[in-house]
Homo-oligomer: A and B are copies of this chain.
Amino acid sequence: MKTAILIIQCPDQKGIVAAVSDFLFVNKGNILEIDQHVDQAMGMFFMRAAWELESFALAKEEIGTVFWEKVGKDFRMEYNLHFNSPKPKMALFVSKLSHCLFDILSRYYSGQFEVEIPLVISNHLDLKEVVDNFGIPFHHIPTSNANKAEAEKKQLDLLKSHDVDFIVLARYMQILSGDFIQHYPNQIINIHHSFLPAFVGAKPYHAAYERGVKIIGATAHYVTEVLDAGPIIEQDVARVRHHNSVSDLVQMGQDVEKVVLSKAIRYHLGRKIFPFGNKTVIFY
């Protein structure tokens, strides 16, 4: 089934839902999903509508223009229009840890993600074989503080040449430069292995162990220039006890990380996430 998804964000005022739903109705859109949210504190309106394209009165190419003229302009909307075909292109960045990579690739394998993965980039060779087995091109770009600018240039060239839409850092242990991030605003998803904002930075499981917490967690978020401080997409936790060592925490935490990261990817692919300020509205 061919579908369209319309994503809207604008200052709140009366009549928005009526205007958008009327636009879809008069053009014979068969609505599949419709969600809206008003952030009262910020006076912002958010809406997501998905409908069938087949019976729709407007051609795919003209929907955007007509919508802007009839509805968007009056409400000063920021909007995006997405179609479920062609599939978006996702790049994976990995280092040495395999658990998130396997989780993502096994979902990709079974068709759970509506996505293409044109390439995997890593600063190490450890996971090359895993990626090869899934028939995905693996690019080894060693990265150090010394060659960072150069390495990121290579990465960006690869990403651009493959028309990559968004990037998933599947336990990629390098910090991206602000310059790099600006090429993909709110299009880089990272998994941090703690329950943010607790334990920002390196070695969060060690920090959790030292603090004696009874619950550990993981956080998927969009990458911004401030480390581990971008808009949170998804979090989950696991209960730990006094007899759990740091390596137990690592292992138990990895089970949380991979589920949280894959959920974030699913929401992103479904165009269900609205980042605004440092938060996210998510219609799941």
List the interface of chain A (C-beta within 8 A of B).
Answer: 14-15, 17-18, 21-22, 24-25, 28-32, 34, 36-41, 97-99, 102-103, 106, 109-110, 112, 130, 133, 195-199, 210-215, 217, 231-237, 239, 241-243, 245, 251, 255, 259, 262, 277-282
Contact = CB atoms under 8 A, between A and B. Distances in A.
Contacts of A280: 212, 242
Contacts of A29: 14
Nearest to A26: B18
Contacts of A21: 17-18, 21-22
B102 A98 contact: no
Indicate how many identical chains form the complex: 4
A110 B96 CA distance: 10
A249 to B, nearest CB: 13
For the complex of A and B, 6 pairs with smallest distance between CB atoms:
A212-B279, A102-B106, A18-B21, A198-B198, A18-B25, A133-B133
Contact of A235 (B37, B199, B215): B215
11 contacts: A14-B25, A17-B25, A17-B34, A18-B18, A103-B106, A106-B106, A212-B277, A212-B279, A215-B237, A237-B237, A241-B282
Given A109-B98, A282-B242, A25 B15 contact: yes
Contacts of A103: 102-103, 106
Nearest to A13: B30
A112 B245 CA distance: 15
A11 B243 CA distance: 16
Nearest to A207: B197
Contact of A279 (B14, B41, B236, B242): B242
Given A212-B280, A242-B280, A259-B259, 15 more contacts: A17-B21, A32-B38, A97-B110, A102-B106, A112-B251, A195-B215, A197-B199, A197-B211, A198-B198, A211-B278, A212-B232, A212-B278, A214-B233, A242-B279, A255-B259
